[in-house]
Structure 1
Amino acid sequence: MTLVFGMLLDALLGEPRWLWSRFVHPAVLMGRLIGWCDQSFNKGASKRLMGAITIAGLCIMAGIFGWIIELAPGYVLDVIVVAILLAQKSLVEHVQAVADALRLSLGDGRRCVAMIVGRDTKDMDQAAVARSATESAAENLSDGVIAPIFWFALAGLPGLLIYKITNTADSMIGYRTPKHAEFGWASAKLDDLLNLIPARLSALMIWAVTSRSQPKAIFDDAPLHRSPNAGWPEAAMAHGLDIALSGPRSYDGEMRDYPFVNSAGERSLTPDHIDQTVAVLWKTWALAFGLALTVAIISRLT
């Protein structure tokens, strides 16, 4: 029942400001540790090897820490850790904030979406802002909700913490920049591996709660995405809402001509489409919660 209560606690409270304004969030601590490793070990001629050793060491530390937490009597601490490391309510709040800001003005929408995406936002039109928010929602549903649930269900707190430290490392050093192309290679590959099943599960669950298209359409479009995993929830969201996602966008002033996912879908996106996306986020969470609760009840009865 740890996962069930952790999901409920996260959905109800999210990341309360009164708490994290007084204490350092575990994700921030992970980021600081990874930043220190980057500064300390991303040097010399064997950067790829040092990067592999670094992520291996971080995963071992995370796994041991999770195991120690599980040794504590009762399951209250476990529930709290699960709730902290899930991101359902915070994801919903960030995505909904873009729709609310976009209804005020295009400039507000651009500033708000810039907080959740890494692409250039200053020249975005309304459709691009809404598309970016929807893409971020789909990808982060997989990375921040379904994948942590999957790895906790499979390997308890050690599995959850190993996933979170890897995902955080990938977001910080996994980019193919001159500085991190070698050092972050192992982190990026491990993150791809750990998200292989959860990304496809996310797509299946999004399809289950929208059911607007045949699964074959998702299978056909997911490989069009530049990411081996993000394309799956994005393709499912695109087909589920009958909208076009991905497509050309600018990074660091350079336009990149990515293909559209569900290219026949609606391209003139509005804040209403973001509202629909948020509804899908909650429906998918409800499906995951129902599955977790069912498994918990069956395990108690057997």
Structure 2
Amino acid sequence: MSGALAAAMLLDALLGEPRALWSRLPHPAVLMGRAVAFLDDRLNRGEARSLRGCLALLVLAGGAVGTGALLTLLPGRVAEILVAAVLLAQRSLCDHVSAVARDLRISVGEGRRAVALIVGRDTTGMTSADISRAAIESAAENLSDGVIAPAFWFLVAGLPGMLAYKAINTADSMIGYRTPRHEAFGWAAARTDDLVNLVPARLTALLLWLASGAPRWSSLARDARLHRSPNAGWPEAAMARALDTTLSGPRSYHGERRDFPFVHPEGNRDPGPDTIDAAVRKLWSAWALGLAAVTLFTVF
């Protein structure tokens, strides 16, 4: 199991997401998104929306597990490795975050355009520091959601577990919001996503912590608890400490300002493109440590 994961991690790091392939075929994440949208349209109505949301999540996760189980029946492990590599996002994450630094060096406007592709907050009016913080926060959170968590669930439950995780995470990203439409229907997706990310988020923080020379863990844990999310705060706090940069803080969603607390408030509050580049290097350092750990599992 761990040997297949190591191969998938290397394949993802080398190839990322080839445009020539995904311009012709729908990416698995796109297919999952379509399934979530279909269930949202058909089930998110009438009474008992929380129960309907639970049913939708069971259908999504069950379908993912079934698909993974069928793929593992194919001879050899090539299909399993290829699908696992597609479901990992290390290379694409680093490429997207690096693009923000590159475009921000051109102009603040170009930086806003680039960061809007990877964050959900309002980007109009962002300063260079705001853009940099947003990119770095996205880097840390997506290292957990897009790399460490799917790898963890592959180790725990093989390709079925990895696909189930991606289905749950996709559902949370689409319907797991406290809006009038989704507060009840998306409750199950949001709470389940919190649960399946509980261990991976802390593993991600551990890898970033080790990649940064292991500063005081107690300070990192304190910072993590300042975050609005029970899980995202851990990789963000680790990245903030690794870069000695303040993250999180106030931002705007759909025109509404949200006064979130700062994480590592005593850090540098004026990050720029160089800080984003440093964050990308931390992503690769943490990835390398994760690969080393998976390889050790394979050997021993």
Q: How far apart in 1 are the matches of 2:90 and 2:247?
A: 21
Alignment of 1:185-224 (within 5 A): 185-211=187-213, 213-224=215-226
Q: Does 1:279 align with 2:281?
A: yes
Match of 1:42 in 2: 44
Q: How far apart in 2 are the matches of 1:254 and 1:55?
A: 29
Match of 1:69 in 2: 71
Q: How far apart in 2 are the matches of 1:259 and 1:17?
A: 38
Match of 1:117 in 2: 119
Q: Does 1:12 align with 2:14?
A: yes
- Deviation at residue 212 of structure 1 after TM alignment: 5.8
Q: How far apart in 1 are the matches of 2:266 and 2:213?
A: 17
- Deviation at residue 297 of structure 1 after TM alignment: 1.6
Alignment of 1:20-59 (within 5 A): 20-59=22-61
Q: How far apart in 1 are the matches of 2:15 and 2:60?
A: 29
1:79 to 74, 78, 81: 81
TM-score normalised according to structure 2 size: 0.98
User: What is the RMSD of the two structures over their aligned residues, measured on CA atoms?
Assistant: 0.7
Q: Is the 8 A contact 1:248 1:255 kept in 2?
A: yes
Q: How far apart in 2 are the matches of 1:19 and 1:97?
A: 21
1:247 to 239, 246, 249: 249
After superposing the two structures, state which structure 1 stretch, 257-266 or 53-62, moved more.
53-62
Q: Is the 8 A contact 1:166 1:191 kept in 2?
A: yes
1:227 to 210, 229, 233: 229
Alignment-mate amino acid for residue 245 of structure 2: I
Q: How far apart in 1 are the matches of 2:214 and 2:63?
A: 43
- Deviation at residue 206 of structure 1 after TM alignment: 0.4
TM-score normalised according to structure 1 size: 0.98
Structure 1 SS opposite 2:152: helix
Q: Is the 8 A contact 1:202 1:233 kept in 2?
A: yes
> After superposition, what is the alpha-carbon deviation per residue over 1:23-67, rounded to whole angstroms, capped at 9, x for unaligned?
111110000011000000000111000000110121111111111
> After superposition, what is the alpha-carbon deviation per residue over 1:90-136, rounded to whole angstroms, capped at 9, x for unaligned?
00000000000000000000010001001010100000000000000
Q: Is the 8 A contact 1:212 1:241 kept in 2?
A: no
| Superposition misfits of 4+ residues, deviation over 6 angstroms | none
- Deviation at residue 18 of structure 1 after TM alignment: 0.4
Alignment-mate amino acid for residue 142 of structure 1: S
Alignment-mate amino acid for residue 24 of structure 1: P
In structure 2, list runs of 5 or more residues that go unmatched.
Answer: none
- Deviation at residue 223 of structure 1 after TM alignment: 1.1
- Deviation at residue 226 of structure 1 after TM alignment: 0.7
Q: How many residues align?
A: 298
Q: Is the 8 A contact 1:212 1:239 kept in 2?
A: no
Match of 2:167 in 1: 165
Match of 2:105 in 1: 103
> After superposition, what is the alpha-carbon deviation per residue over 1:257-295, rounded to whole angstroms, capped at 9, x for unaligned?
111000000000110000000000000000010111111
Q: How far apart in 2 are the matches of 1:145 and 1:218?
A: 21
Alignment of 1:166-185 (within 5 A): 166-185=168-187
Q: How far apart in 2 are the matches of 1:66 and 1:225?
A: 34
- Deviation at residue 211 of structure 1 after TM alignment: 2.3
Q: How far apart in 2 are the matches of 1:199 and 1:294?
A: 21
Structure 1 SS opposite 2:257: strand
Structure 2 SS opposite 1:224: coil
Structure 1 SS opposite 2:252: strand
Q: Is the 8 A contact 1:209 1:284 kept in 2?
A: yes
Q: 1:127 to 1:212 in 2, by over 3 A?
A: farther
Structure 1 SS opposite 2:225: helix
